[in-house]
Amino acid sequence: MGRITLKIKVENLEDILRAERGQLAPEQVRSVQVDALVDTGATLLCLPANAIAGLGLSLLSTRKITTANGPVEIRLFRGARLTIFNRTCTVDVMELQNGVPALIGYVPLEVLDLTLDLKRHAVVPNPEHGDEIVLDLFPCMACHEGGFAPALAGAERRL
C-alpha cells in the first residue's frame, strides 16, 4: 500500500479571530501550507516545531504519548484552523521534530468527514454524504441520562 499525502492549510485561530474583529489585517493572519502524510494511527494533527513556531501557536500542555519506540513526552499547542478541500475545523496541534513530515491523524479526518479511498490512494469526502459534512452521534447511556436524549427526541418530533 502506498503513502497518502495531501496539501493542507493551517492558520493561527487567534489571528483569524482578531482579523474578524478588525484588530488585524486579514493578510497578517499567520498560516502555512504543507504536504502532510495521512496517518490513521495518529490521533491529532502533527506539525514540525518550525511550522508551529511560524504559526505562533500557544502551548496548551505537555502529554505522554505512546510511540513504536515507547512512551515519550510531547508538547501540544492550541488554536489552529485546519483546511482540507475547503473544509475547515479547529484543532490542537502535536509538535514533531523538525524534518519529520506533518501528519494528519484520524480525529481531523473524522471531523472533516473525510475518508480514505485505498484503491486510488487518496483522501476523499465521505461518499455517503456527498458534499455535506455529516458528523456521527451514536446514542450512549450518558446521553440518555438527561444529556442528548431530550434534545434529540424533540428534533425527531420536528422532522
The pLDDT tens digits for 47-94 are 999 999 999 999 999 999 888 888 989 999 999 999 999 999 999 999
Say yes or no: domain 5-130 is CATH 2.40.70.10.
Answer: yes
What does the DSSP 8-state code read for residue 22? T
- How far is it, in rounded angstroms, from Cα 43 to Cα 143? 24
The pTM for the full model equals 0.80
Distance of CA 70 to the CA centre of its chain: 24
| CB atoms inside a 10 Å sphere around CB 84 | 21
pLDDT at 147 exceeding the cut of 60? no
Kindly tell me if the per-residue pLDDT of 140 is higher than 80.
no
User: Assign residue 86 a region: left if phi > 0, alpha if psi is -120 to 50, beta otherwise?
Assistant: left
Kindly list the domain boundaries of the chain, sorted by start residue. 5-130
Split at pLDDT 50, 70, 90, the class of 41 is confident
Which of residues 78 and 1 earns the better pLDDT score?
78
- Give the model confidence (pLDDT) of 91-121 as tens digits: 999 999 999 999 999 999 999 999 998 888 8
Q: Which residues of 12-47 are buried (b: 16+ CB within 10 A; e: fewer)?
A: bbbbbebbeeeebeeeebbebebebbbbeebebbbb
